[in-house]
Homo-oligomer: A and B are copies of this chain.
């Protein structure tokens, strides 16, 4: 048993996110987190101020990653439909590579201050994507009979569902991201 390197805020957040993702934030106790980390509950409080601080850090990671996508060149330049395609694919990628963070974010419902802030930021993200859908609609690249806000919600609903069923192994991340883009843009039926 080689000695473990000491925890810091970030490594404890890693552990906490895995526990929160598995048990749910409300269903997970600080003792659960402590057990997963191999230390006692009191030791956690040496590094972080409390349970909600762990949640807040995790939510921040997830939201920072999402907003970073919107800053990528391919998300800012070119035809709206192509920007959208890039964003959807990258959101799917990010969901898969930051699975615990996105799992916790997806399940948050605004019952505390940090949760409300996360919900607000998430809504702002959806609003920015909705604007791009509106542009694509004006370009004639998105069906006119669909409400753009609704489309945004359905696409992210599909993409967020990944956190409910993805387990490493069975399907590659590329295959999943490809399928999400395929269904969202062309549908499941052949063209």
Residues of A at under 8 Å CB distance from B? 22-24, 26-27, 81, 107, 109, 111, 133, 140-147, 150-151, 153-162, 164-165, 171, 175-176, 179-180, 182-191
Contact = CB atoms under 8 A, between A and B. Distances in A.
Copies of this chain assembled into the complex: 2
Contacts of A146: 179, 182-183, 188
Give the interface SS of chain A, mostly helix, strand, loop or mixed.
helix
A190 B136 CA distance: 11
A184 B188 contact: yes
A188 B143 contact: yes
Q: Which of A158, A180, A190 has the most CB of B within 10 A?
A: A158
Contacts of A161: 153-154, 156-158, 160-161
Given A179-B147, A188-B146, A111 B27 contact: yes
Given A24-B111, A147-B175, A147-B179, 13 more contacts: A27-B111, A140-B190, A143-B189, A150-B175, A153-B165, A154-B158, A154-B161, A155-B183, A157-B157, A157-B158, A157-B161, A184-B187, A191-B191
Contact of A147 (B154, B162, B171): B171
A129 to B, nearest CB: 12
A187 B188 CA distance: 7
A115 to B, nearest CB: 11
Contacts of A107: 107
A120 to B, nearest CB: 14
